[in-house]
Chain A
Amino acid sequence: MILLKNGMVYLSNDKKIIKADVLIEKKVIKKIAPSIDEKNAEVIDCAGMHIFPGFVDMHCHLREPGYTYKEDIASGAASAAKGGFTSICCMPNTKPAIDNLSTLDYIMRKARDVGKTKIFVIGAMSKGIEGKEIANIATLVKGGVVGLSDDGNCIQVAKLQLNVMRYASIYDIPMICHSEDYSLSGDGQVNYGYMSTKLGLPGIPTLAEESMVSRDIMLADVTGSRVHIAHASTKRTVELIRQAKKDGIKVTAEVTPHHLVLNENACDGFDTNTKMKPPLRSEEDRKSLLEGLLDGTIDVIATDHAPHSDYEKELEFMKAPFGVIGFESAFPVLYTTFVKTDLIKLEELIDRMTSKPANIINKEVGELKEGAAADLNVFNLDESFTFDESEILSKSKNSPFIGMNMWGKIYYTMCDGKFTWKV
């Protein structure tokens, strides 16, 4: 038994933080109460610390199989644990793609062996994520995927996307849409606008996202399937989702920490760690994302943790791949930028990183309450640190936040009653 004493505990049922002790027996949270005495327990003093449910990330890339020089399941899980995550969902753009049972089984088995975090798998929508033929969706669902997505390979042909959604609509799983019209984004590198003009780089217009979000919402409407808009990045995307929700269409959405915190100006200087898809947008877009998060239009925060090796990122801007890592900076960046400045309530932030994503993937994870799995983390919110490349556990170091001073230092992560990260 483990007894966490005197922490500030977030209670998932009430979305409230109270001073309490938490008793863990084996894999389960046995008791949460103002004061617990348990002689047989290992006692951990959490005075001055916050105890949150383990974070749930519904969008990340673990790169195994196929690209293990960037990340593998073990290094990804370790990085997630250090960020306070206890459940993560990996995207299917591996090699081979997760469009078949053997790859799915391989990842699930490997995830169990590594054990540092719960890993849920997103299956492919199309075979080989090639956007040509519908994947063996029923098989994948039976095999345990928690969502379907072709992610960055966004299906361009509306008819195929329609069939995927229609076919999958009999299962209660989200269609996770990276909405991007390639004919509009083309070889774009940064936001089409101020920065693309200043830097002389081809731009990715907001329209490339918004026109596809419109399509995906309309397809959700006609098929009745659940659509989840991945990494929303523009003002109009937020408006489209807001309207769709009003219209009763089954749509949910996520936003990443980097799109919430940074705008396109971060690209000035050609740092390839600011190159991502969708690109960092204008300040107006960024503010709309925050607004959308606050009013519930955007449901969850997801990292889109996308590791790439140094030698891929340290190239010419046009040649470097899109994407940044996210597990280890997600909470401190958001806490520092929004909670410390009173823009977001701490309880709200935790909800968006735990219960909300867990609901969308339909898993009973990320809840701090009696009887739930002992998935939690312990942060000292009064301690600051500099986000240092040398301390990153991911194999890749492609973060735009390196060097940033952040508040909220993590001390422990626990998954199923076992410590997966300790300072």
Chain B
Amino acid sequence: MKHTLNLAGRNLFDLDVYTVEEIETIFETAKVMKEINSRDYKKIPTLRGKTVATLFFEDSTRTRISFELAAKRLSADVVSFTTAGSAMKKGESIQDTVYTLNAMGMDLYVVRHSCPGVPQLVHKYSQKPVLNAGDGRHAHPTQALLDMFSIWEKRGSLKGLRIAIIGDILHSRVVRSNLIGMKKMGANVVVCGPRTLMPPKIEEVYGVQCEYDLKTAIKDADVVMGLRMQLERQTEGLFPSLGEYTSRYGLSNKMLEYAKDDVLVMHPGPMNRGVEILPEVADSEHSIIIEQVANGVAVRMALLFLILGGKPGREVA
């Protein structure tokens, strides 16, 4: 192992305060975790006695299962809090919820919320490490880490790669964290989508290239990532029809011809097949979409392990 950085006790609100070395430490630890996940008996005792609370104020079954599986494979206890039918509906505040859970002895919180900044709020009230599992359209750092890990595994590094991210950039939390992380790891990133779905000053904020034409964006790309198009954006007047969107920004085989021959196709899921990505692309040999999901568990295991006090190195296995 190259790195022996200690991430114990850290929060993960977003990737901005993480260094290249720290991100590589997470990747290298995730590689070990991935090996554990390939065993017949997929469990190690490392976090026995620790309790992880998953607070999902907004539904996301996929992400929640990924985190809970990660915690369980490390033998942590998992407490799962979702808003459906909970006290939040009766007007209990986040503050009260966290105080209550804290009194029961949580060691780490995984937080998902529709409003940006809530993970920070949970940390403020809990004084325990918090992993951001998606806060509004602000950040989704574990998704970004698993995306980046998936590329890193295939290519050995992100340095100098041309990565094109296509779709609804404005409403995507995944994009924001990915832009921070990918730029940090040395990639050249281009974002592309309709102008109504592009946040202002994106070049300035993230140091990325912004294009409105798909061909230009994809040209010579090493990686192409499609983003989920939420159908309600049409009724909000942000684009006129799915047909027009797909014809301008849908990822098809024809479009992929502009990219590099060995281009990797990614998607954070869940996909609208036939809208932002055609099945021919989603199921092609370029696609690593299913691997992303598997890597998600490994990356989250690595984070829980490192933040709850594990030291990188052989002791993992």
| A residues apposed to B, CB below 8 Å | 192-194, 196-201, 203, 269-270, 311, 314-319
Contact = CB atoms under 8 A, between A and B. Distances in A.
B93 A311 contact: yes
Contacts of A201: 116, 136-138
Given A199-B138, A200-B173, A318 B116 contact: yes
B199 interface: yes
B288 interface: no
Nearest to A192: B200
Interface residues of B, number: 24
19 contacts: A192-B200, A194-B200, A194-B201, A194-B204, A194-B205, A196-B200, A197-B202, A200-B138, A200-B139, A200-B176, A316-B94, A316-B115, A316-B118, A317-B115, A317-B116, A317-B117, A318-B115, A318-B116, A319-B115
B199 A196 contact: yes
B113 interface: yes
Nearest to A197: B199
Contact of B121 (A194, A198, A311, A316): A316
B95 interface: yes
A196 B169 CA distance: 13
B204 A200 contact: no
B117 A270 contact: yes
B135 interface: yes
Contacts of B93: 311, 315
A270 B116 contact: yes
Given A194-B204, A196-B199, A197-B202, A315 B176 contact: no
B120 interface: yes
Contacts of B121: 270, 316
Given A198-B205, A200-B137, A270-B117, A315 B94 contact: yes
A269 B120 contact: yes
Contacts of A199: 116-117, 138
Given A198-B176, A201-B137, A318-B115, 6 more contacts: A194-B201, A200-B116, A201-B136, A269-B120, A316-B118, A319-B115
Contacts of B199: 196-197
A192 B199 CA distance: 9
Contacts of B173: 200
Contacts of A269: 120
Interface string B115-157: 1111011000000000000011111000000000000000000
Nearest to B120: A270
Nearest to A316: B115
Nearest to B114: A318
B136 A200 contact: yes
A203 B204 CA distance: 16
Nearest to B135: A200
B116 A197 contact: no
Contacts of B115: 316-319
Contacts of B139: 200
Interface in B136-188: 136-139, 173, 176
Contacts of B201: 193-194, 197
A311 B114 CA distance: 19
A317 B120 CA distance: 11
B218 to A, nearest CB: 23
- B95, B113, B116, B205: most-surrounded residue (chain A CB, <10 A): B116
A193 B201 CA distance: 6
Nearest to A191: B200
B123 to A, nearest CB: 11
A184 to B, nearest CB: 13
Contacts of A316: 94, 113, 115, 117-118, 121
- A196, A197, A200, A314: most-surrounded residue (chain B CB, <10 A): A200
Contacts of B120: 269-270
Contacts of B117: 199, 270, 316-317
A417 to B, nearest CB: 46
B107 to A, nearest CB: 24
Contacts of B113: 316
B93 to A, nearest CB: 7
A203 B200 contact: yes
A193 B203 CA distance: 11
Nearest to B175: A200
Contacts of B136: 200-201, 318
Contacts of B205: 194, 197-198
Contacts of A194: 200-201, 204-205
List of 6 A-B pairs having minimum Cβ-Cβ separation, nearest first: A270-B117, A200-B138, A316-B115, A197-B199, A200-B137, A318-B115
